[in-house]
Each structure stands twice: as C-alpha cells, then as structure tokens.
C-alpha cells in the first residue's frame, strides 16, 4: 500500500467523478474546493481517524468542515453506494467474484453516541454498535448493515441477503443472489432457513446444540479476513459519527476501496 493511501489516482478518480452531483453554474459565495481534493480529505480522515476539525490545512484538502459537508452532500446523492456497485460489476466482469457461496458475520465496534447504539453484551454493557457483513466466497464485501451492539446476528441475515446490490458485468440480468449462505450458530433459525430456501439459496448454518458442520470454518474464514480489512480503516474501528447515515457512507466508501484494491491487484 502507498505511504499516502488517501491520494486519489487518476484511474480511481475516473470512476468516481461521473457519480458526483454537479455544482450549480451560478452558486453564491466563494468558489468551492475541488471535489477531488475534498475526497482526499475524507480519505485522510477514514485512514487516520483524525477529528474533522484537526484535518491538516497544509495538505490542501480544505477545512474539516468543508470535507464533512461534502461527505454529507455525497451521502445524500448515494455516491459511495454507487461506487461500490460499479466496482463489484468490474470485479464480476473480471471473474473475481465467487457466487457459489456467501458468508455472514457480525463483530461489534465501539460507539460513543448516536443512532443504532445499544449496550454491548460482551463489553460490560458499554454503548456500542455492530457491523453485520456479507461477503462472497473470496471475501469481497457485498453489503454491510450497522445496528446497535445488542442486536442478535440472526435478525440481520435476511437484511444482508436482500441488501446485496444487483451486480452487472456478465451477460444476462445483474446478479444479486449467491448459491448458498454460510453462517455459524448465531444464525441458526428455522424461519431464516425457510426464507433462504424460498429464495433458492441453500442455507449452510450450524445448529445450536449440535456439532459444527465439518469444514465450515475453512470456508468462512474469509469473512473474518474481510472484517480485518474493513477495520484497517481506523475511522471505522471506533464509530465517532453521531449520524448513522454518515458512518454508513464511510463504510460504503471503505467497501469500495477494498474492491478497488482487488481489482487493481487482478489487473495491475
């Protein structure tokens, strides 16, 4: 990885720029900071977990308030969800997505305040949030849901499956359904199994009170690996954004960057 990973190269900017909402031709006030510089400011915060007001002005990204407002504007336009979907399509076209299985999991992350928070059952009931993730068989993130820390994993299984965006890149309809879903005993539910089968998805989920499915851990390790990649973005390891939609925008941006790394690694 570059020593300055927040720098947006030309190839990535070529994907992002068409997704950004245009500025009015005649807008009051001073000329706005260039979108590319603001995006680099957002990435600087995402990678280094500095407070918005402490964003170094000497880097030329504008003030932290400027980058925060631009993030808010892009979130309302759905920019980062679109970027994630575009990059998933590029990976699908390159044959880098494994639709034979999808893996789900949901470790907790600390949180100080805001929506989707609750007492953590494993950390002395400290207020926290939780990331629920579904990834493909190679560990590429497909969808992430943020909930309070005391929300059971099984309640988000169908939300994760339904949240997989339609992924183009191959002939025919865009794909959004894996062949099977792998989960540990936290996802054991008869209703969930029935609903997955109804959607022609095979549930491979260990049952409570029984031995784990043999070899399941060797297939599910990729989801732990993906969480490690996701939480390498220091801003996501501890959730500081009070507004849930801004935190989710940063999560979508991080998922897109993980996809971008895999795409550039497959086609350097």
User: Does residue 104 share a domain with residue 175?
Assistant: yes
Output the pLDDT for position 3: 73
Q: Which residues pair with 204 in a beta bridge?
A: 182
- Which residues have a Cβ under 8 Å from the Cβ of 76 and sit 6 or more positions away? none
Name the domain count of the chain.
2
User: Does residue 165 share a domain with residue 214?
Assistant: yes
User: Does residue 131 share a domain with residue 70?
Assistant: no
User: Does residue 209 share a domain with residue 117?
Assistant: yes
Q: b/e map of 6-42 (b: 16 or more CB within 10 Å)? A: bebeeebeebbeebbeeeeeeeeeeeebebbbbbbbb
User: Does residue 108 share a domain with residue 229?
Assistant: yes
CA distances from 129 to 67, 106, 113, 120, 224 (A): 24, 10, 9, 8, 17
Cα(77)–Cα(246) distance, integer angstroms: 12
Q: What are phi and psi of 131, to 5 degrees?
A: -100, 125
Could you tell me if residue 172 is inside a domain? yes
Could you tell me if residue 45 is inside a domain? yes
User: Does residue 111 share a domain with residue 43?
Assistant: no
Could you tell me if residue 180 is inside a domain? yes
Could you tell me if residue 179 is inside a domain? yes
User: Does residue 107 share a domain with residue 55?
Assistant: no
The range of the structural domain enclosing residue 63 comes to: 10-21+30-76
User: Does residue 103 share a domain with residue 16?
Assistant: no
DSSP string across 31-84: PPPPHHHHHHHHHHHHHH---GGGS-GGGTS--HHHHHHHHHHHHHTTHHHHHH
Output the pLDDT for position 92: 95
Output the pLDDT for position 137: 92
User: Does residue 16 share a domain with residue 121?
Assistant: no
Output the pLDDT for position 125: 56
Cα(190)–Cα(203) distance, integer angstroms: 10
Could you tell me if residue 265 is inside a domain? no
Could you tell me if residue 247 is inside a domain? no
pLDDT along the chain (268 residues), means of 10: 82 96 74 90 94 90 91 96 96 94 76 51 63 93 90 91 94 92 89 95 86 74 90 88 91 96 86
Could you tell me if residue 132 is inside a domain? yes
Could you tell me if residue 164 is inside a domain? yes
Output the pLDDT for position 247: 93
User: Does residue 194 share a domain with residue 64?
Assistant: no
Q: What is the domain-level CATH number for residue 121? A: 3.30.420
User: Does residue 225 share a domain with residue 140?
Assistant: yes
């Amino acid at each position: 990885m570059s020593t300055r990973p927040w720098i947006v190269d030309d190839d990535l900017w070529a994907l992002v720029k068409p997704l950004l909402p245009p500025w009015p031709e005649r807008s009051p006030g001073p000329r706005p900071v260039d979108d590319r510089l603001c995006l680099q400011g957002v990435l600087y915060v995402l990678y280094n977990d500095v407070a918005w007001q402490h964003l170094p002005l000497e880097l030329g990204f504008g003030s932290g308030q400027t980058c925060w407002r631009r993030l808010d504007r892009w979130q309302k336009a759905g920019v980062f969800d679109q970027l994630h979907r575009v990059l998933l399509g590029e990976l699908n076209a390159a044959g880098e997505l494994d639709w034979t299985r999808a893996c789900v999991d949901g470790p907790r992350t600390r949180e100080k305040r805001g929506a989707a928070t609750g007492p953590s059952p494993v950390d002395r009931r400290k207020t926290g949030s939780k990331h629920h993730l579904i990834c493909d068989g190679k560990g590429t993130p497909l969808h992430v849901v943020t909930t309070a820390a005391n929300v059971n994993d099984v309640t988000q299984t169908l939300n994760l499956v339904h949240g997989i965006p339609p992924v183009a890149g191959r002939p025919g309809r865009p794909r959004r359904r894996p062949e099977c879903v792998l989960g540990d005993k936290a996802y054991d539910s008869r209703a969930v199994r029935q609903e997955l089968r109804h959607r022609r998805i095979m549930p491979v989920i260990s049952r409570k009170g029984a031995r784990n499915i043999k070899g399941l851990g060797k297939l599910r390790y990729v989801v732990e690996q993906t969480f490690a990649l996701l939480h390498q973005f220091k801003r996501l390891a501890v959730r500081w954004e009070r507004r849930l939609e801004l935190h989710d925008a940063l999560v979508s941006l991080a998922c897109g960057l993980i996809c971008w790394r895999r795409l550039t690694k497959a086609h350097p």
